[in-house]
A and B are shown apart, each in its own frame.
Chain A
Amino acid sequence: MSSTPPEQAAPTLSQEAGHSVLTLPEHILEVLSDSGEGAQKCGQSFGAVSAKMGNGAWTVEIIPAEIQPPPRTPDGASGVRIRIGTQKITNWGNRTKLAIAFNDQVLLSRHRLNALADDAIILLDQAPENHDNPQVRQEWIEALEELSSRNYRLIKVPLEEECLKIVDNPRQGKNMFALGMLSWVYLRDLERVKEQIAHQFRHKAKAVYERNVRLLEAGVSWAEQNLDFRFDIPTTTPDEDMVVMNGNTALGLGAMAAGLEMCSMYPITPATSVSHFLSESFDRLGGMVHQAEDEIAAIGVALGASFAGKVAFTVTSGPGLALKTEFIGLAVMTETPLVIVDVQRGGPSTGLPTKVEQSDLLAAVFGQPGDCPKVVLAPSTIEECFHCMITARRIAETFRCVVMVMSDANLATGQQPFKRPTLDPRWQSVQPDLSEVPVGTEPLQWDPETGLSPRLIPGQPGGMFTATGLAHNEGSHIRSDPENNQRTMELRSRKLAVLQSTLKPPVVVGPEHADLLVVGWGSTRGAIEEAIEKGQQEGLSVAALNLTFLSPLQPGLGEIFENYKKVMTVEINYSDELDQPYINAENRRRGQLAWLLRATTLVDVDCWTRVFGQPLCPGDILDVIRGKLAAGGQS
C-alpha cells in the first residue's frame, strides 16, 4: 500500500479482565490459511451470519492463483477479510484489527502487504513452533521476528492440537474451530452459525455436519476459557427484508429475474461461479447453462439462442472477452440482443487471475475492430449486480444491441446484505411472438430517427431473412454502396444517443460545488464515498460521483464537472504518474475512465489508480484527496 491509512482509535484491552466486552461501531477481521484449509468457508460463513443478525457486512476473498499452492508460503495465502458494522458497510475498509492465521507464513503475506493494523490482535496456530521439521521451526522464529516490528498482540493458539482431538486431519477442521472462536469473540448467535453450517454441508452426510458442529463448539469453548476480549458490534433489525449473497450469485439471480433463459459460458476465473450457481437451479426455471467448448463458442451459442428468440447471456473475464471480440462485432452488426458479463480480473494476458482490476473498460467500449457501438454498464454494489441484469436484458432487447455488464473480482466473491428484491413479472422477457409478419416488413426496419427496429424471430411466417455480418440494408441484403454503409453506421450509433436521452444525470454525493470531484465506476464506489465522507468531516471540499453507464455515458457530465475546480478519477487500473522517468503530461497514459471522460468532456480530468490486485482502501483514497487539494489550483 502506498500510504498508511488513518485508523480509528484502537480498543483498549484489559489483560486482567476475564471477558471484557468492547462495543465498537465496526471491526475488520481476517481468516488466513493455506489453500484447502477452508479459511474462505469460515470467513464467508461468519460474514453471512453477521449479516443475517443485522450487521452491515462486506467480505473480500484473498485467493491464490493455484488450487493447492505449496503450503506455508506467503504467496499461497488463502483467506477472507470481513468488515462488519452496525451501519451499512460498502467496502473492505483499511486495515485488519483481528486475524486468525493457520500458520506463520500466510500471516506474513498480509503483514508484508501492510494489511494488518499496527495494534491488530493475531490468533496464530502455534503448531509450527514445535514442528518435527527444523526448517519449519526456523521459519517460525524468523516470522515472529519479522512480525515483532509491529505492535501486534500475538496470541498463540493450539489450533491444530485442539482439532486433532476431534478430527484426524486438522486441515479439515481448523476452519470450523476458528469459526467457533470468532463466534465467541463477536457474540454471534450460535444457532444461526449452526444453520449456516447445515446449509453449507447440505449435500453431505449428517455425520459431516455433526463433526463440524463439534469443532465449532470446541472453538467457542476454547475461546471462552482462554481469551480475555470480546467485541460487540451492535446489530440493528432492518425495517425491511434483507438478503445476503455475493456478487456472482446476485448476477445469476438477476439473470433469472430478468427472464434470461440461456447462459452460455466457458470456465474462467473469477466469472465461473455465476454458472456454478445457475447450474444448480436454472433448469428448473426453464433456463439452461451451456458450458461450451471454448470462449468463442460460448458467445456463438448465446448469439444463436438470441437470434432464435431468447435473450441469452455469456459470462467471462478479460482473456475470454478478448476471444469473444469477433462475435461481439457480429452481434452489433446483426443487431442481435446479447448480454455479456465481464467479471474483471488483473490483466493483461493471464495477469492476476484471482485478483480485482478494472482494466477492461476501454476494451469493452472500444475493443472491437470496426465501429462497434454497444452499451456498457457497471454495477457498484452486490445489490446492483442483481438489478443490472434486469436493466441489461431490457436494453438489449429494446435496442437490439449488445449490453456489457462490467463486474469485477471484488464484487464477484464479496458478500453484502441488501434489500430483498420484490420480483416483478414485467422484468421477465416475453416469449417470442411467432405470428405472421405483414407483407413488406423488413428484418431491420429502422426508424430513421432512432435507429430502432422490431426483431423478427425464426418461426414467423413471411419474415424470412438472413442475418449477416456483411454490410447490409433494411432487408439484411448484402450491400456495399457508400451511402448505405454510412447510413447504417449512423443508425447503429444513434441507438446509443437515444438510450442516453432516456438516462438521468448521475447524482453527486457531497456538495454541488467543491474544490474536487472524485469520479469512479464499479466496485470502488463504497471506498470512494467513504473517503469523501471522512474528508468532509475533516473539512475538505470534495464530492464523489459514480458512473453506472460507461457507454453511453450518462448525460450532463460536462455541466457537473464545471462545478468543481478539479476532477479526478480513482480506479483499479494502470496509469503513469508524472514523477516517473520519461513521463510527462503529454505522453502520460491515464486511468481508463479518465481517458473516456477527457475525450468526451474536454475537461482536464486527472486520475489516481493502483493495480495492487486488491480493492482500494478508503484511507488511501483520502490521502490522495488530501494531496490533490493541497497541490493548489493547478491540476
Chain B
Amino acid sequence: MSENCGTLMGCGVEDERSFSMDDYSGPLARWCPGCGDHAVLAGVQRLLAKEQLKPERTVFVSGIGCSSRFPHYVDTYGFHGIHGRALPIATGIKLARPDLDVFAVMGDGDCCSIGAGHWIHAIRYNINMTVLLLDNNIYGLTKKQTSPTTPQGFASNTQPRGSFLPALDPIQTTLGVTNASFVAQTADWVPSHLAQTLEAAHAHPGFAFVRILQRCPVFTPTIFEEAAMNTDLTELLEHENGVTDEALKGVYPHTLYHDPTDIQEARRLAESSSKVRLGVFYADPGHARYEELRAVPKRTAEEKIALLNAEIDRYAV
C-alpha cells in the first residue's frame, strides 16, 4: 500500500487490530428519518468493516448538501468541503498521498450541476477512488429546488409548474467521458445490492463511479416509490466481473447478463429507459490512471538542494 510509512503502525509491523462496523461510526447521523442516506452510510460502514480498512488511512471527502454531511458520520479522516468541489479536494489528497484510500460522496446538485466540470475531468483523470453519487433527484438541504436529475414535470419550489427539461442521466454522462473506467448504479432500498456494488467499486483500480438512487422522504417521496415497490420495473445487470446476487433473483424477475467490459452495450443500456437497471454498466481496470502517470521520486531535503543548485547554475552570472 504505502511507500512512505516508516513511522507507521501497520507498516512492517503486523497490524493486529480488527475493526467492526461500530469502529467506523461517528456521531449519530442527523439526516431525516427514512432518508436513503442512512442506508448508504450503513452500506459503506459494512464495506469498511468487511475490507478492514484502517480508519486512519481512509478519507471521506464531500461537497455541500444533505449527503455531504457523510464524512462527519464515519470515524475516518474526512473533508467536508464546499458545494460541487469534493472531487478537486479528493484529487489533491490522492495526488499528494496515493497511499490513502479515498472516497468522494456527492449529491446530484453537487456533482451534476455546480460541480459538473470537475466531474467530467475527474472521470478522465481516472484517479483511484470510490465515488458515490447520492442521487435523490432534488436539492434537499436548500429545500426542494429542481436539480439536473429531477424528472421532467416534477414540481419544485423553483419550477412549481414542473421541471422544464428532461432529466440528465448521470450514468449516460459518465459513460460518455473519455477514459471512464467504472460505472455502476444501485439503490438505497436494495441493501445487499448496494453492498456488493460498493465492494466492486472499491476493488476497482481507478475512478469508480456509483450512482445510488436515494429516496428523499421529505421532498421526493414519490419519485422512487414505484421503482422501489414494483420489482417488475427493475432489471439487474449480472456478471461475475460485476455484481451477482442469487438471493435477489428471487425478488427481481428481470436479470440481464451483461459483460461490463463492453462499453458500447453499456451505453446502449444506459440510454434505454425501459427499466431501472441496477448493476455494473462498465468496468475496465486497464485505463490510464493520472496518479500513476504523475508518480514522482521521493527526495530528501539534501537531494533536493543538490538538484536545485544545479538548476540555479543555469542562471549563474
Where the two chains meet, the residues of A that have a C-beta atom closer than 8 Å to any C-beta of B are 51-52, 54, 199, 238, 241-245, 249, 253, 256-257, 259, 261-262, 264, 281, 283-288, 290, 292-294, 296-310, 312, 326-327, 329-330, 334, 417, 420-421, 423-425, 428, 431, 433-436, 458-470, 477-478
Contacts and interface: CB of A to CB of B under 8 A. Distances in A.
B56 A461 contact: yes
A-side binding surface: helix, strand, loop or mixed? mixed
B87 to A, nearest CB: 8
Which 10 pairs across A and B sit closest by C-beta, in order of nearness?
A304-B92, A300-B88, A466-B78, A305-B96, A242-B317, A301-B92, A293-B121, A286-B299, A428-B301, A304-B89
Nearest to A238: B317
Nearest to B90: A304
B93 A244 contact: no
B251 interface: no
Contacts of B305: 257, 423-425, 428
23 contacts: A249-B315, A256-B304, A281-B307, A285-B299, A293-B117, A293-B118, A296-B118, A300-B91, A303-B88, A303-B89, A307-B79, A309-B96, A334-B79, A417-B317, A421-B312, A423-B305, A423-B308, A424-B305, A436-B9, A458-B57, A461-B56, A463-B77, A468-B72
Contact of A52 (B77, B88, B317): B317
Contacts of A296: 85, 88, 118
A327 B118 CA distance: 14
B85 A300 contact: yes
B182 interface: no
A459 B56 CA distance: 5
Contact of B81 (A253, A305, A330, A424): A330
A540 to B, nearest CB: 35
Contacts of B229: none
A54 B316 CA distance: 11
B298 interface: yes
Contact of B92 (A52, A249, A300): A300
A470 B92 contact: no
A261 B57 CA distance: 21
A264 B309 CA distance: 24
Given A238-B317, A241-B316, A286-B296, A464 B55 contact: yes
Given A464-B76, A477-B27, A292 B88 contact: yes
A88 to B, nearest CB: 13
Given A284-B307, A305-B95, A434-B8, A243 B296 contact: no
A434 B305 CA distance: 24
B75 interface: yes
A468 B21 CA distance: 24
Nearest to B54: A461
Nearest to A252: B311
B122 to A, nearest CB: 9
A306 B91 CA distance: 12
B317 A307 contact: no
B230 interface: no
B72 A478 contact: yes
Given A284-B307, A300-B118, A308-B97, 19 more contacts: A199-B314, A285-B304, A292-B121, A293-B121, A297-B117, A304-B92, A304-B95, A307-B93, A326-B85, A423-B309, A433-B7, A458-B97, A458-B100, A459-B99, A461-B55, A463-B56, A464-B75, A466-B72, A469-B64
Given A262-B95, A466-B80, A297 B304 contact: no
Contacts of A433: 7
A290 B78 contact: no
A294 B117 contact: yes
B5 interface: yes
Interface of B: 2, 4-5, 7-9, 26-27, 54-57, 59-61, 64, 71-72, 75-82, 85, 87-97, 99-100, 117-118, 120-121, 294, 296-299, 301-305, 307-309, 311-312, 314-317
Contacts of A461: 8-9, 54-56
Nearest to A283: B296
Contacts of A264: 92
B311 A253 contact: yes
A304 B97 CA distance: 10
Contacts of B298: 286
A297 B124 CA distance: 14
A466 B71 contact: yes
Contact of A244 (B7, B88, B317): B317
Contacts of A434: 5, 7-8
Contacts of A305: 92-93, 95-96
Contacts of B2: 459
B95 A330 contact: no
A304 B118 contact: no
A54 B317 contact: yes
A421 B26 CA distance: 49
A293 B85 CA distance: 12
Contacts of A283: 294, 296-297
A460 to B, nearest CB: 6
A285 B307 contact: yes
Nearest to A431: B4
B98 to A, nearest CB: 10
Contact of A243 (B88, B100, B316): B316
A428 B7 CA distance: 20
Nearest to A475: B27
Contact of B304 (A52, A301, A307, A428): A428
Contact of A288 (B87, B95, B304, B307): B95
Contacts of A469: 64, 80-82
B56 A308 contact: no
Contact of B296 (A288, A308, A424, A466): A288
Q: Which of B4, B311, B316 has the most CB of A within 10 A?
A: B311
Contacts of B314: 199
A464 B56 contact: yes
Contacts of A478: 72
A307 B89 contact: yes
Contacts of B75: 464
A458 B7 contact: no
B312 A459 contact: no
A301 B95 CA distance: 8
A326 B92 contact: no
Nearest to B72: A466
Contacts of A290: 91, 95, 294
Contacts of B307: 281, 284-285
B269 to A, nearest CB: 28
B15 to A, nearest CB: 10
A7 B90 CA distance: 58
A596 B41 CA distance: 49
A261 B97 CA distance: 12
B96 A262 contact: yes
Query: Residue among A301, A309, A458, A462 with the most chain B CB within 10 A?
Result: A458
Contacts of A241: 316-317
Greatest chain B CB density within 10 A among A256, A420, A459, A477 is at A459
Given A243-B316, A257-B308, A301 B56 contact: no
Contacts of B95: 262, 288, 290, 301, 304-305
A420 B79 CA distance: 41
Contacts of B121: 292-293, 297
B8 to A, nearest CB: 5
